[in-house]
Structure 1
Amino acid sequence: MDPADPDRRADGGLIEAAAAELGADPVDLLSALTDQAPFGLALLDLRLRWRYVNPAVQRLTGHPAEQLTGSVLGPRSARTLERVLADGRTRTLPVSDLLPLPHPGDRARRPLTAVARRLELHGRPVGLVIAVTTVEPAPDRHDLEHARARLTLLDAAAERIGTTLDIGTTCTELADFTVPRLADLATIDVLPPEAAVRDSGAGGSVPRLRRTAVARAPHLRGRLAELALPGESIRYLPGTAAARCLATGKPVAVNQLTPQELTGAAADPATAAAYRAAGVDALLEVPLTARGQLIGMLSLARTGEASPSGFTDDDVVLVQDLAGRAALSIDNARRYTRSQGIALELQRALLAEPGSPHPNLELASRYLPSGTSSVVGGDWYETVRLPFGRTLLVMGDVMGHGVEAAVDMSSYRSMLRYVASMDLPPHRILRQLDHLISENESARPATCLLALADPARQRWTLSSAGHLPPALLTADRPIELLDVPTGPPLGTGLGGYEQTTRELAPGQVLMLYTDGLVERRGEDIDASLARLAGLHLPVGGDLDDLLDATLRGLTPQDAEDDIALLAARARIRS
């Protein structure tokens, strides 16, 4: 076959043709090309383990092949490379993310860039090919190649910082990103949520901040015992580099510090002692400013053994850009936490204790907000006293979360009280509620379960609008999930509600609940309900103890949704 044939070229014919011209073996020629290439070339398998590195990679990174091959990449770079494997899109990232340990000679003044591309054989992904190149800093920091390396670093930061709306997590992501890329030690301090946010560079007294994150290079572990830990309060002494940074709202870099100068530059005596023990001689303090307001500070430190010249002007510009982007994520997390806290307090205020039942009915209730940092929902419960010793039990769940759901919850609860006062049967109460809610186009749908307790006639009358079935607990018998006719959620305007009756026996407990008690992400609802039905609960004891046992048996440490519980037991006179 002619070597110039396109099909043969696609099969690697060019290598064979070149080998024939040079009088060499094709395999030897390909090996020589990879070994003598002026740029780094590496192969990773599908499990992100190093499988091959050419001599250029070893020379550029300072890591011999035996140190790399077989090792697995850490979480710092795994997420980016997993995306390359998944979608086939080429991505760039700092080489320092791929290495097991930093190479002191290749710090910010000589950054290395890795280009990752999915490697395919016969149309099937088999791994990743990594190209490693140097980006030499030009005398002008606006040089195109230098700017490209900087943008690569900032793009990587955008993927890894601000992945959640939790302040602590965001600050930890920022600290971990800077070490060891830009520093040997990083600390992040923010104004506490209750403190007023200050204008950047407003001057005045130095505020007290709260430490939220610390990251240190491996060689500093065990040498920073005096350093304040996350959760501790921090007050910077006047005149220190950190205090000057907060007062002016501008970065402050101090390099090649003597031990005496380090004492004056460090935030406080304890921090100075920790710095001296670690060999720190360069500090960079950068304000965390978002929307023109100061929310905290990023402190970076380097040791003389890894960076003799300290922080350069380019370092300051790069870290300032990084801090600015990260500060927006931290501020978003602060704002989210504040708004959700308001929603949670609003819901707690609106979700007061249910009304007093008749003396012939014992009652206990619980409300637990979601464990994922105040993801407030619209769960609610109520009891309404009716004539002839009857009590209406209500459990509802407004769809969605946040302030709007809490406000709708309060509105529906008020409607329920009004309609229930007409002394209608449960299925007609649901019909009226559905009609009233559907008239408001902005109202959220809601599920609702009604249980009318009538101890005198010894019966329950139940009706449901898309809600989960109630649990009936009887001593020495398994928990029974009652089969209640279920209509559509309230607010659809479809109606179609029915009701059923059930014997109310002495000592029985009826328990109403919202879906947060049983539902788990990715699990079939039948399995969730079976878990509830399989519990062994103290039916004859105090109802509060019963609810506590229910929550212990079903609630995970971090509940994914709000939980509301209502338990009732009739006192039947003989």
Structure 2
Amino acid sequence: MEPHPRADTNTAPPAQQPGEAARQAECGPDDAEGGPEAQSGRLRFLDRAARRIARGVDLDETLRGLYEAAIPAFADVVLVHLREPLAAGEGLPAEPLALRLHSFAQGPEGAVIAASPGGAAGLVRPTVTTPFAELLLARQPVFGEVPEVEAVVSELLAPVASMPTASASAPAPAPASAPGRRLIVAPLYGRRHLLGTVALLRAAGRAAFTADDLLVAAQLATHTALGVEASMPSGHEASAADALQLRMLPSSLPETTGVRLASRYLPAAETSQVGGDWYDAIPLPGNRVALVVGDVMGHSMTSAAMMGQLRTTVQTLARLDLPPEEVLYHLDEQAQRLGSEHMATCLYAIYDPISQRLLVADAGHPPPVLLHPDGSGEVLQVPPGAPIGVGGVPFETWELPAPTGGTLLLYTDGLVESRHRDVWTGLDLLCGRLEAVAARVAPPPLDMLCDAVLTLLDPDARDDDVALLAARFDGFAPRNVAYWFLSPQPQTAGRARQLTRRALHRWGLGSMLDATELMVSEVVTNAVRYASRPIALRLLRTEVLRCEVGDDSPQVPRMRRAQAGDEGGRGLFLVDQLAERWGATLLSTGKVVWFEQQIPEEYRQRGPEAA
């Protein structure tokens, strides 16, 4: 490959402006070319710059390290164009070439200020000519006066004209149309592939770059590229992180009577490490459902692993039917046992479609938002407790109304908070967006509502994951519920059969009477044997007929095969044969044994209202 044209190293630089000598003596690399003192200054500058860039632990800190090292010691404006998306691991970046601009300039009193345009204005799709492609492949910096790459360089420098003027003490950058030797363009190459380019620009009143400055720029580009690449997960780690995140989020949401659910999850960016945001919906006895959203602080495989453990713990605690504050208390204990420095926020709510009430406990999480049936949005006033992992802090459960037709939104802070706005501003925008959607379509479908909410996100300012869980409250009509408390006495089974018979006659389900009476009698008889407090009997009529019998004994019944001479032991066998489904749920206060039967087709066609 032929060497690329460069400036003649024997060309004398322009005369220095007043005050230039003082800045050269201080900064080092701005010195006139040649001489031991000038070379020593460049070495000192590169040592400081390399250490400053290497301190960056993520992309933003790495680029800021370059800017603070190079401005004003070496340049007045630094433009870094990174490929979008940045490829991780062995894969090649997507084509055609798209570069995202990250720019900084010298501001008032010499401070380094951000001057990057956002949105589409910050995305450059340069016309890649063959000479420019060869420049990138050669991994060598060049002056802006090289004719073969002048067209592409002008595209890269187009945003300079719209950048804010620095200050009276810092001269404006040279015009992008004819930068000449006041510009150096260097490719950013990692260990495997091209990451982008860096352009170093000097103002019009300052000495032009020299040939030795090309070597300095090459070193700056190398250190920056390695720092950018180190801030990205490797290909193996990225794929493992993605798989881990997908595995630990729910593959689907449960379908429960009385509430409809929808969810969304968005990672921060393709190059971000896996986060610790999660959501869940867990069916509970009595057609209730637990709604959970949480966020482990930090972005790493450790955060994701801790998230998985906390989510599993929440599922186990929820199935014990503990109140929300107890769930958060035990979750906090578990987080401390994990021995991790990571903390988490979590909001745990239980929706009861029969009482149409909501129980909520908050551990440092953003408050839920309720879209009322009339289309108005409200931020629910749930006092936040301490985050999970702090330890020794009590949590409280708050009871709130859950109106039929309302929609509850649980979310992580990435939805309402960004670098450009605080949480409360984001909450105002969220309520406004919900009300706007409800004004167009009433009631808005859940999927439409979730998609509309996500349009609040600013892709250029979003640096956190977003988890969103939406619940539409359909409620449960009281006429479809029959509920009794019965004393644990020998005659209780007969009383339960009598009450069941009345309820089924009232609902027009006489054809199900014999089988239902038999199963109710068997389950209640078993509860009477072990209970010391009143037994709860509940019948629920939906698409199926569900019977629940609760008592205070923690002993869960097991089906066994009765011998020919045994007088008992056949109750659960009969339930297993007659019911569509059955099971037992262990609670903190005892247990619930339940069974379900399919309601006859003619009744479902007629509907519960006709009955």
TM-score, structure 2 as length reference = 0.51
Q: Any conservation in 2 of the 1:375–1:561 contact (CA below 8 Å)?
A: no
1:543 is aligned with what amino acid?
A: L
What is the deviation of 1:541? 1.9
1:165 aligns with 2:67: no
Summarize the Cα distance change of 1:231–1:151 in structure 2 as closer, same or farther, 3 Å threshold. farther
**Inter-CA distance 525–213: structure 2 relative to 1 (3 Å threshold):** closer
Structure 2 counterpart of 1:43: none
Query: Alpha carbons of 1:177 and 1:472: their partners in 2 closer, same or farther (altered >3 Å)?
Result: closer
Cα drift, residue 345 of structure 1:
6.1
2:435 corresponding residue in structure 1: 536
Matched letter for residue 565 of structure 1: L
> Residues 233 and 271 of structure 2 are in contact (CA less than 8 Å); yes or no, is this contact kept in structure 1?
no
SS at match of 2:228: helix
- Work out the CA distance in 1 between the residues paired with 2:30 and 2:381: 70
- Is residue 2:260 matched to residue 1:337? no
- 8 Å Cα contact 1:172-1:212 kept in structure 2: no
CA distance, structure 2, for counterparts of residue 278 and residue 461 of structure 1 = 67
Q: Conserved in 2, the CA contact under 8 Å of 1:197 and 1:294? A: no
Output one character per residue of 1:26-83: Cα deviation in whole Å (capped at 9) or x when no partner: xxxxxxxxxxxxxxxxxxxxxxxxxxxxxxxxxxxxxxxxxxxxxxxxxxxxxxxxxx
Is 1:563 aligned to residue 447 of structure 2?
no
Shift of 1:504: 3.0
Shift of 1:394: 0.5
- Aligned counterpart, 2:514: none
Quote the offset at 1:557 in angstroms: 5.5
Amino acid at match of 2:23: V
C-alpha displacement of 1:383: 0.6
Contact 2:289 2:350 in 1 (8 A): yes
Q: Work out which of the residue numbers 6, 17, 40 in structure 2 matches 1:147.
A: 40
Aligned length: 410
Quote the residue 2:579 is aligned against: none
- Cα distance in 1 for partners of 2:404, 2:448 equals 19
**CA distance in structure 2 between the aligned counterparts of 1:491 and 1:322, rounded to whole angstroms:** 47
Identify if the C-alpha distance between structure 1 residues 214 and 232 changes in structure 2 by more than 3 Å, giving closer, same or farther: farther
Are 1:446 and 2:344 counterparts? yes
Shift in Å at residue 423 of structure 1? 2.2
* Whole-angstrom distance in 1 between the partners of 2:196 and 2:39: 29
Structure 2 matches for 1:65-214, cutoff 5 A? 105-106=14-15, 112-115=20-23, 141=34, 143-145=36-38, 147-148=40-41, 165=59, 194=87
Matching residue of 2:282: 384
Task: State, as a whole percentage, how many aligned pairs show the same letter.
Answer: 31
Structure 1 match to 2:377: 479
Unmatched 5+ stretches in structure 1: 1-102, 117-129, 199-207, 216-228, 272-276, 301-306
2:372 corresponds to 1:464: no
Distance of 2:453 and 2:347 partners within structure 1:
19
> In the aligned structure 2, how far is the partner of 1:345 from the partner of 1:396?
19
Look up the match of 2:204: none
1:224 is matched with which residue? Answer: none
The alpha-carbon deviation at position 390 of structure 1 amounts to: 1.4
**Deviations 1:321-370 (Å, cap 9, x if unpaired)?**
33123212122212323359554664345334453141332111122333
Q: Aligned equivalents of 2:84 and 2:304: distance in 1?
A: 29
SS of corresponding position for 2:232: helix
- Give the superposition deviation at 1:269: 13
Equivalent AA in structure 1 for residue 14 of structure 2? G
User: 2-side partners of 1:376 and 1:550: how far apart?
Assistant: 22
Quote the offset at 1:481 in angstroms: 2.8
Cα RMSD, aligned residues only: 6.0
How many angstroms does 1:372 deviate by? 9.8
Give the C-alpha shift of residue 498 in structure 1: 2.5
Listed one character per residue, the Cα deviations across residues 278-319 of structure 1 (whole Å, up to 9, x for unaligned) are 9999x999886667999788899xxxxxx9xx99xxx55542
Structure-2 residue corresponding to 1:401: 299
Match of 2:216 in 1: 321
Which digits, 9 at most, give the CA deviation of each residue in 1:420-474, with x for residues without a partner?
1222222222222122221122152211111112212322222222223222221
Distance 1:532 1:187 in 2: 34
> Residues 114, 559 of structure 1: CA spacing in aligned structure 2 closer, same or farther, 3 A cutoff?
same
CA-CA distance at 1:412 after TM superposition:
1.0
**Partner of residue 549 from structure 1, selected from 420, 435, 452:** 452
Which residue number corresponds to residue 221 of structure 1? none
Give me the whole-angstrom Cα distance separating, in 1, the residues matched to 2:305 and 2:367. Answer: 25
Answer yes or no: is the 8 Å Cα contact 1:171–1:212 preserved in 2: no
Contact residue 157 and residue 177 of structure 1 kept, 8 A: no
Question: d(CA) in 2 for partners of 1:444 and 1:132?
Answer: 42
Which residue identity lines up with residue 310 of structure 2 in the other structure? Y
* Structure 1 residues 131 and 235: alpha-carbon distance in aligned structure 2, compared to 1, 3 A threshold: closer
- Helix, strand or coil for the counterpart of 1:388? helix
For residues 252 and 555 of structure 1, the distance between their equivalents in structure 2, rounded to whole angstroms, comes to 34
Whole-Å Cα distance in 2 between the matches of residues 389 and 105 of structure 1? 82
1:494 aligns with 2:387: no
User: What code does the residue aligned with 2:224 have?
Assistant: S
CA pair 104-295 structure 1, distance change in 2 beyond 3 A? same
Contact 2:62 2:227 in 1 (8 A): no
2:226 aligns to what SS in structure 1?
Answer: helix
Q: Is the 8 A contact 1:512 1:567 kept in 2?
A: yes
| Distance in 2 of aligned mates of 1:105 and 1:549 | 58
Output one character per residue of 1:204-243: Cα deviation in whole Å (capped at 9) or x when no partner.
xxxx99878899xxxxxxxxxxxxx955696968x97876
AA partner of residue 219 (structure 2): G
Q: Relative to structure 2, which stretch is displaced further, 461-470 or 556-565?
A: 556-565
Contact 2:278 2:295 in 1 (8 A): yes
| Cα gap change, 1:233 to 1:479, in 2 (>3 Å) | same
| Structure 2 Cα separation of the partners of residues 267 and 484 of structure 1 | 60
Q: Find the aligned partners of 1:316 and 1:516 in 2 and give their Cα distance.
A: 47
Shift, 1:544, TM fit: 1.8
Unaligned runs of 5+ in 2: 1-11, 104-122, 154-176, 201-206, 478-611
Q: 1:270 to 1:365 in 2, by over 3 A?
A: closer
Give the C-alpha shift of residue 191 in structure 1: 12
Change (3 A) 1:106 1:566: same
- Alignment correspondent of 2:159: none
Q: In the aligned structure 2, how far is the partner of 1:253 from the partner of 1:380? A: 48
- Kindly provide the amino acid, as one letter, of the partner of residue 462 in structure 2: A
- Rounded to whole Å, the distance in 2 between the matches of 1:557 and 1:430 is 34
Q: Distance in 2 between matches of 1:362 and 1:404?
A: 33
TM-score (norm. length: structure 1)? 0.53
Residues 29, 45 of structure 2: 8 Å contact kept:
no
The one-letter code matched in structure 2 to 1:319 is L
1:424 to 305, 322, 335: 322
Where do 1:214-253 residues align within 5 Å?
231=125, 245=138
Tell me, in whole angstroms, the C-alpha distance in 2 between the residues paired with 1:471 and 1:212: 35
Mapped partners of 1:560, 1:190: distance in 2: 17
Cα distance in structure 1, aligned partners of 2:82 and 2:415: 37
Q: Distance in 1 between matches of 2:179 and 2:466?
A: 52
One-letter amino acid of the counterpart of residue 551, structure 1: L
Q: Secondary structure at the match of 2:23?
A: strand
Distance 1:338 1:479 in 2: 40
CA distance in 2, matches of 1:477, 1:152: 61
